[in-house]
Structure 1
Amino acid sequence: MSPAERQAPQLRVQRWIGVDGGNLATPIQLSDLGVGPKIVFAFQHWCRGCHLHGFPTLQKLHGALESRGVGFAVIQTVFEGAHENTFEKLRINQVEYNLPIAFGHDEPPAGAAFPTFMEDYRTRGTPWFTVINANGRIVFSDFHLDADRLVAELEST
Structure 2
Amino acid sequence: MNAVAYERAPSWSVSQWMNARDDITLESLRGSVVALHAFQMLCPGCVSHGIPQAKAIHAAFPPDKVRVIGLHSVFEHHEAMGPVALAAFLSEYRLGFPVAVDQPAAQGPIPLTMQAYGMQGTPTLVLIDKTGHIRLHHFGQLDDLRVGAVIGQLLTEPFG
Give the TM-score, by structure 1 length: 0.83
Q: 2:100: which partner in 1?
A: 104
User: Deviations for 1:65-123, whole angstroms, at most 9, x for unmatched residues?
Assistant: 24461011111111111011212232223223322211121242322441011111110
1:149 has 2:150 as partner = no
Aligned counterpart in structure 2 of residue 47 of structure 1, from 39, 43, 47: 43
Aligned pairs for 1:1-157 (under 5 A) are 5-19=6-20, 27-33=23-29, 35-67=31-63, 69-143=65-139, 144-156=141-153, 157=156
Label 1:130 to 1:153 Cα distance change in 2 as closer, same or farther (>3 A).
Answer: closer
State the identity as a percent.
Answer: 30
Q: For residue 59 of structure 1, give the secondary structure of its aligned residue in structure 2.
A: helix
Structure 2 CA distance for partners of 1:154 and 1:104, relative to 1, 3 Å: closer
Q: Is the 8 A contact 2:30 2:132 kept in 1?
A: no
Does the residue aligned with 1:83 lie in a helix, a strand or coil? helix
In the alignment, structure 2 segments of 5+ residues that lack a partner are none
Superposed structure 1 runs of 4+ greater than 6 Å apart: none
**Aligned CA-pair RMSD:** 2.2
Give 5+ residue unaligned stretches, structure 1: none
* 1:4 CA displacement: 7.8
Shift, 1:18, TM fit:
2.3
The answer (yes or no) to whether the contact 1:34–1:69 under 8 Å persists in 2 is no
SS at 2:59's partner residue?
Answer: helix
Matched residue of 2:61: which SS? Answer: helix
C-alpha distance in 2 between matches for 1:97 and 1:32: 27
Structure 1 range deviating more: 92-101 or 116-125: 92-101
Q: The residue matched to 2:104 in structure 1 has which SS?
A: coil
Distance 1:77 1:4, change over 3 A: farther
Contact 1:43-1:50 within 8 A present in 2 as well: yes
Decide which structure has the larger Cα Rg and report it: 2
Letter in 1 for 2:146: R
